[in-house]
Chains A and B, each alone.
Chain A
Amino acid sequence: MSNLTKGLAESLKTGFLGMGITLISLYVLSLLLDFMRVIFYKPADKKKVETLPGRNKEEITPQERKEEENEEDEEELVAVITAALSAYLKKPVDQIKIGFIRRIHERTPAWGMESRFNPME
């Protein structure tokens, strides 16, 4: 067997073995992750939220009143952010809709922040 044929045979063997082991092991891992989802992931129960009965204003507890006040604060926050975005993007306020606000600094990895601050052009 010539060196070329030997090299070719060795490469094919390594290729099949390497790709095979990698694909199979990562496939097994994906199955384990699917299994983990079944055990640990509980989708948010929307029905429960929707079926809460309506109540009179007198029945609202101080805790809930505090939450309402927080919501008012959040409206102010949305207004401020919308104004800032409007100035930054040079777009009228009515063309900007804030879907949700999420604090990103505490959990976002360093390169996630880099991606946000310096988007690829």
Chain B
Amino acid sequence: MVQSIINFLKSTGYFNVTPQQLVMLLIAFTLMYLAIVKKYEPLLLVPISFGMMLANIPVAGLMEPGGFLYWIYQGVKLGVFPPLIFLGVGAMTDFGPLIAYPKSLLLGAAAQLGIFITFLGATLLGFNVKEAASIGIIGGADGPTAIFLTSKLAPHLLGAVAVAAYSYMALVPVIQPPIMRLLTTKKERTVVMEQLRPVSKTEKIIFPIIVTVLASFLVPPATALIGCLMLGNLFRECGVVDRLSKTAQNELINIVTIFIGLTVGATASAENFLRIETIEILILGMVAFAGGTAGGVLFGKLMYVLSGGKVNPLIGSAGVSAVPMAARVSQKVAQEEMPGNFILMHAMGPNVAGVIGSAIVAGVLLSLYSG
């Protein structure tokens, strides 16, 4: 009897827990606090932090082969979940502002600069090229793209990269405004942009088809991401599959968000996460965001000059995806300078262009380094 009790006690988590696992539990609780109390990207950080907690419960082995989360994690590992998230994102996105002002695509491209600045920083810090690419993609400010690329190039960094990407996305309203003010003059910030033209339904239907063909031919490894994004958008715009559109933007994306958040959080085991590299990734992630914001704003300044002062450079910072938060930050900063100035819809153009841009960059990085 006594021996049975001893054996039972030895099989409990209380007996087997390591100090590292306790630290990880503390980190998970902190993230839960940030998500629930501070409302930092709660839709993602609640499942991520809970997954982190589950993965660090001793003996349970949920992420070991055969464990409950192990099977769900296959959806991340095999690159299935991120494109499904993109399907929902596409169904929720109105590309109208981008179609009305196509030059905003260039801002979405310029804001990817942070990815390559960070790639350089990570390489100089001693990360190999695959790890550097995975860390750099944080600058795309696009969670599914970051998870998609990291799961293929450096799966051991998935937890740290996802936590950094989603944490910084939640901090966009804090990180971006100082950079935007630093790089622009008051005159530039008060530019009132012309109203966007209306976009016809035909244009909105043809757009996802053109983007899919053009981008997928160029970077085939990004076809799953771009194809699903544009399929979701076609559901939305074609007007004949409302049921599919609603499912993609509600039930499907919610279910996949639970799975992806939970399992990505669960990759943050003590041995993977409690390393000096994690701190480096968090710092590099910040550089990536700042670099992307600066790239977008600087290109916005160039467009301001070339257009004879018709483009407000503040819309450039929205090129770092993080839809729609980054566009709302552009609007907020512009309105602080001039309360009657509404650039939200103009900023939505580069904002959704950033999603396409970061998916193309992911495709380029996969083409270069996935072999």
Contact = CB atoms under 8 A, between A and B. Distances in A.
Interface of A: 4, 7-8, 10-12, 14-15, 17-19, 21-23, 25-34, 36-37, 40-43, 107-112, 115, 120
A26 B108 contact: yes
Contact of A21 (B110, B123, B332, B364): B364
20 contacts: A7-B123, A8-B120, A11-B116, A15-B116, A15-B119, A15-B120, A19-B109, A22-B109, A22-B364, A32-B214, A33-B98, A33-B207, A36-B99, A37-B203, A41-B203, A109-B92, A109-B249, A110-B250, A111-B323, A112-B324
9 cross-chain pairs, A with B, having the tightest CB-CB distances, nearest first: A15-B116, A33-B102, A30-B102, A7-B123, A11-B120, A26-B105, A26-B109, A109-B92, A30-B105
Interface string B350-368: 0001001100110011001
A32 B132 CA distance: 33
B240 interface: no
Contact of B211 (A22, A29, A41): A29
Contacts of B353: 26
A14 B102 contact: no
Given A11-B119, A108-B94, A110-B92, 12 more contacts: A10-B123, A11-B116, A14-B365, A18-B365, A26-B109, A33-B102, A36-B206, A36-B207, A41-B200, A109-B93, A110-B250, A120-B331
A30 B105 CA distance: 6
User: What secondary structure prevails in chain B residues at the interface with A?
Assistant: helix
Contacts of B364: 17-18, 21-22
B148 to A, nearest CB: 16
B27 interface: no
Interface string B117-154: 10110011000010011000000000000000000000
Contact of A120 (B98, B116, B173, B203): B173
A107 B204 CA distance: 13
Interface of B: 92-94, 98-99, 102-103, 105-106, 108-110, 112-113, 115-117, 119-120, 123-124, 129, 132-133, 173, 197, 199-200, 202-203, 206-207, 210-211, 214-215, 218-219, 249-250, 323-324, 328-329, 331-332, 344, 353, 356-357, 360-361, 364-365, 368
Between A12, A28, A29, A34, the greatest number of chain B beta carbons within 10 A of the residue's beta carbon is seen for A29
Contact of A23 (B94, B110, B344): B110
B212 to A, nearest CB: 11
A32 B213 CA distance: 12
Contacts of B99: 33, 36-37
Contacts, number: 130
User: What secondary structure prevails in chain A residues at the interface with B?
Assistant: helix
Contacts of B94: 107-109, 112
Contacts of B110: 23
A94 to B, nearest CB: 19
Contacts of A109: 92-94, 249
Contacts of B199: 41
Given A11-B120, A18-B364, A21-B360, A115 B106 contact: no
Contact of B119 (A14, A29, A31, A43): A14
Nearest to B103: A30
B112 A18 contact: yes
B129 A10 contact: yes
Contacts of B249: 109-110
A34 B102 contact: yes
A32 B361 contact: no
A58 to B, nearest CB: 36
Given A21-B360, A26-B356, A43-B197, A12 B120 contact: yes
B349 to A, nearest CB: 10
A34 B106 CA distance: 13
A112 B249 CA distance: 13
B92 A25 contact: no
Nearest to B356: A26
B130 to A, nearest CB: 11
A106 B340 CA distance: 27
B283 to A, nearest CB: 17
A25 B215 CA distance: 7
Nearest to A9: B123
Nearest to B344: A115
B265 to A, nearest CB: 23
A92 to B, nearest CB: 20
A111 B348 CA distance: 12
A55 B117 CA distance: 68
